[in-house]
């Protein structure tokens, strides 16, 4: 019995020298690619983290801007009321103010603000809707406001700065 053994992994043989070089050159070619892949993954994670932090900052800025715009809108909406605070106005101005600010409310409904008229004797009347305010124009009604009388306006706000009452006190 004759057996042929061929040894291919013996150092120094021609067959082995080619494959060994191939493994070495393959490892040399793979190392930079692996390093490049690792750097790419690291940069991608860094970029995604940066984008998330920028998104959070932008959302916070949008919320602050929204609150600021809402505050300014409220100020503009109430500017007609606020400019009367502390001023002396005529009875005609009082009636017009009441009708204008209560025009979209009817019997059973109440406006966002109450209008309080205080007489010289200390009595006061509160108006919360348009129908009640119409009595101010009727000379035959006991709640009639004479157009030439003088009134001092005071604007009252709650803890949040929202106007709740506008008070007119007769001079």
Do 85 and 163 fall into the same domain? yes
Do 29 and 96 fall into the same domain? no
Report if residue 9 sits inside a domain: yes
Our count of domains for the chain comes to 2
- In a 10 Å sphere around its CB, with 0-12 CB exposed, 13-18 middle and 19+ buried, how is residue 95 labelled? buried
Do 93 and 43 fall into the same domain? no
Report if residue 66 sits inside a domain: no
Do 153 and 96 fall into the same domain? yes
Give residue 34's pLDDT. 86
Distance CA 151, CA 169 (A): 5
Give residue 56's pLDDT. 94
Report if residue 122 sits inside a domain: yes
Distance CA 98, CA 128 (A): 9
Do 12 and 83 fall into the same domain? no
Report if residue 145 sits inside a domain: yes
Q: What pLDDT, in 10s, does the model give residues 23-51?
A: 666 767 788 888 889 999 999 999 999 99
Report if residue 70 sits inside a domain: no
Do 98 and 159 fall into the same domain? yes
pLDDT beneath 70, residues of the chain? 1-25, 27, 107
Do 110 and 164 fall into the same domain? yes
Do 1 and 48 fall into the same domain? yes
Report if residue 73 sits inside a domain: no
Give residue 12's pLDDT. 53
Report if residue 23 sits inside a domain: yes
Give residue 3's pLDDT. 57
Range of the domain at 51: 1-59
Here the tokens at position 10 are 């013996």
Give residue 77's pLDDT. 80
């Amino acid at each position: 019995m004759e057996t042929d053994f061929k040894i291919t992994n013996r150092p120094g043989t021609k067959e082995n020298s080619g494959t060994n070089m191939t493994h070495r050159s393959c490892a040399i070619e793979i190392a930079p690619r692996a390093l490049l892949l690792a750097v790419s993954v690291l940069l991608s994670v860094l970029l995604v983290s940066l984008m998330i932090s920028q998104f959070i900052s932008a959302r916070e800025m949008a919320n602050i801007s929204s609150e600021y715009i809402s505050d300014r809108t409220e100020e503009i909406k109430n500017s007609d009321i606020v400019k009367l605070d502390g001023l002396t106005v005529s009875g005609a101005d009082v009636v017009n103010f009441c009708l204008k600010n209560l025009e979209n409310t009817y019997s059973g409904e109440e406006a966002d603000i109450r209008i309080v008229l205080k007489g010289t004797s200390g009595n006061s009347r509160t108006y919360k809707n348009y129908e009640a305010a119409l009595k101010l124009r009727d000379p035959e009604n006991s709640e009639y406001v004479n157009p030439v009388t003088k009134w001092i306006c005071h604007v009252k706000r709650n803890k949040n700065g929202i106007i709740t009452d506008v008070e007119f006190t007769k001079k």
